[in-house]
Structure 1
Amino acid sequence: MVDIKINDEIRLTDDKFLMIAGPCSVESEEQIIRVATQLRKIGVNVLRGGAFKPRTCPDSFQGLGEEGLKLLAKARDATGMAIITEVMDMDELPLVAEYADILQVGSRNSQNFSLLKKISRYDKPVLLKRGFGNTVDELISSSKYLSMNGNKRIMFSERGIRTFEQSTRFTLDISAIPVLHEKTEYPVIIDPSHPAGVNRYVEPLALGGTAAGADGLMIEVHPDPPKALSDSAQQLTVPQFQNLYTKVKNINAVLGKTVI
């Protein structure tokens, strides 16, 4: 697996397991600082949070934009955590890159090749989410746009695909983990929150992905999920996440990995 240097303190290597956690959306300074501080005490080093939110319905909360990025930067200053946030389009890319330690390409942009070409010019780690209608080979092809200018700091994210099954929001494709490991040199980060759709399914999906050999998890965690402005049903409370974190550490100890 390629060595992913996130910053001077955090490196994802073969014997490490990366834990990313935080709210779906940045909603206020109090919210993001509170959850970041709690997650840092648990041991999380990378904070997620959406500043620009691609929502299915235009009437839904669309994020705080640049103000959200500034609040993420405040959370980083307060905790020392690295931050990851989504890039939605080319106009926002320079601004997001100014603040983020890791650039996230969302499911809807997984085959936005013009955007991927632009991102390839930035010397930053990139988390590429699989499109919910994309095959594994299509995901790999998308990654080649990101690496075309020499950037190898790419991480895949399996976040569920759309199938005929409707008992969960999406179908988590755990089989993608060994296939991606066989076909590429990039780590695979599982996002169990989006395929789960409701928080009671997040833990079993997260543990299943971990045991199947994933290189990390990205979990949505909110200080008060019922009041969340987006994806409230699937976000874990901090105590729920702490319980999951302990189990993930135990599984990785068996696999010979350290959670970072």
Structure 2
Amino acid sequence: MSGNAAMNDWLKAFNLDRPLLIAGPCSAETEEQVLVTAKALQNTDTNVLRAGIWKPRTRPGNFEGVGALGLKWLLKAKRETGLLTTTEVANPIHVDLALKHEVDILWIGARTSVSPFAVQEIAEALKGTNKIVLVKNPINPDLSLWLGALERFYKTGIEQLGAIHRGFSSYKDSLYRNIPEWQIPIDLRQELPDLPLILDPSHIAGDRKLIFDLCQTALDLNYNGLMIETHPNPDQAWSDAKQQITPETLAAYTRKLKVRKKSSSNQDYETSLSRLRLQIDKLDEQLIQILIDRMQIADKIGAVKKTHNVAILQPERWQAILQKMINLGVDKGLAEEFVYRLFQAIHQESIAHQQKILHTTSAKQANSH
């Protein structure tokens, strides 16, 4: 599957001079709401109308979609505006109904892509069609699961594939509803360089104030498109009200967003970039050496703890180091979450080194048994 250019053909067929834009309400609520939204989106750069028909919720009791009735509204909106349509499908029944109502693009939600059984059933239901299928990242940060979901469709004969980055759940409090974990979609791109990648900033943000910056970040990283939840009256939305924007705001955002070139042949650019990358390479080498030196000290600490039969984890010491480093990093312009994750990883590696020391039996001790 890696590097298969056919996966990118469907996007090229749109003949776009800007990234693909998918927009529409989180949920189809009424026929009027869907049609009003679609007609308003005609005045924007929107290429595809989205709307949730079936809404799998984390907990029961919330609005879970109008069901198949909403597909009739999507079809009517498509015929009246010329916009293509897309919706989420979570099982073969949804697939069958969506196909009967001429839905152009089907997407697989994060709660579905986490389940290989569910993905396989949907892939089998789509076998023999030429539909475009977009696969959202699974809710947990697992690149293999995301790749596996895409591979199941490809092996069933679905070549018109794309990925949607909607962020990852975390038990830790964060600025975002779902943490972006930008490195994971970057790694996905390394595995599948021809796979179109679309950002869903609405589900990452959980707050409309964060959407523009997330979109710009995606374009800075050469994403191929955006899927933005758009509603004529966001505060009155039946689901995810806080993360939806109006069609007018969408139009304003897309006018302001800057689409980056993939590269430049300008000599000044090449010279400046080469010089700066050389500096980065040297600093990266220094970082690795500093980490090696740190772990060698961790080994010595492990030996001292072993001699005195002391536990590896010292919570008060760890919390003091973590808070000190966060404060220092934030004061110098680093993101708190970045510093937190960096030192979590360093701490885990230090623990692993000390565990190895504590569990190592010396040759002298081994010979005495």
Normalising by structure 2, report the TM-score: 0.64
Aligned positions, number: 251
Partner of 1:241: 250
Report the alpha carbon displacement of residue 77 of structure 1 after superposing the two structures with TM. Answer: 0.6
The 1:202–1:154 alpha-carbon spacing in structure 2 relative to 1, beyond 3 Å, is same
Query: Residues 102-134 of structure 1: CA distance to partner in whole angstroms, max 9, x if unpaired?
Result: 011000000333334324413200010001114
The 1:19–1:33 alpha-carbon spacing in structure 2 relative to 1, beyond 3 Å, is same
2:220 and 2:26 map into 1 onto residues whose CA distance is: 25
Q: Which residue of 110, 116, 119 corresponds with 1:113?
A: 119
Report the alpha carbon displacement of residue 41 of structure 1 after superposing the two structures with TM. Answer: 1.5
1:124 and 1:133 map into 2 onto residues whose CA distance is: 27
Query: Residues 18-77 of structure 1: CA distance to partner in whole angstroms, max 9, x if unpaired?
Result: 110000011111111111111112121100001111112321111111110000001101
Tell me the C-alpha RMSD between the 2 structures: 2.1
SS, match of residue 92 in structure 1: helix
Assess if the C-alpha contact under 8 Å between 2:45 and 2:251 holds in 1.
no
Matching of residue 137 in structure 1 with residue 144 in structure 2: yes
Matching of residue 255 in structure 1 with residue 267 in structure 2: no
Q: Which residue of 104, 111, 122 corresponds with 1:101?
A: 104
Q: Which gives a bigger RCO, structure 1 or 2 (Cα 8 Å, sep 6+)?
A: 1
Partner of 1:218: 227
1:221 and 1:151 map into 2 onto residues whose CA distance is: 29
Letter in 1 for 2:144: D
Percent identity among equivalent residues? 31
1:66 and 1:51 map into 2 onto residues whose CA distance is: 7
Report the alpha carbon displacement of residue 239 of structure 1 after superposing the two structures with TM. Answer: 2.0
* Aligned structure 1 segments of 4 or more residues deviating by more than 4 angstroms: 12-16
Worse-matched range after superposition: 174-183 or 15-24 = 174-183
Unaligned runs of 5+ in 2: 263-369
1:162 and 1:225 map into 2 onto residues whose CA distance is: 23
Aligned positions of 1:67-216 closer than 5 A: 67-99=69-101, 100-110=103-113, 111=115, 112-121=118-127, 122-163=129-170, 164-184=172-192, 185-216=194-225
Unaligned runs of 5+ in 1: none
1:237 and 1:244 map into 2 onto residues whose CA distance is: 11
Report the alpha carbon displacement of residue 209 of structure 1 after superposing the two structures with TM. Answer: 1.1
2:63 and 2:185 map into 1 onto residues whose CA distance is: 32
1:199 and 1:115 map into 2 onto residues whose CA distance is: 34
1:4 and 1:40 map into 2 onto residues whose CA distance is: 25
Letter in 2 for 1:201: L
1 or 2, which has the higher strand percentage?
1
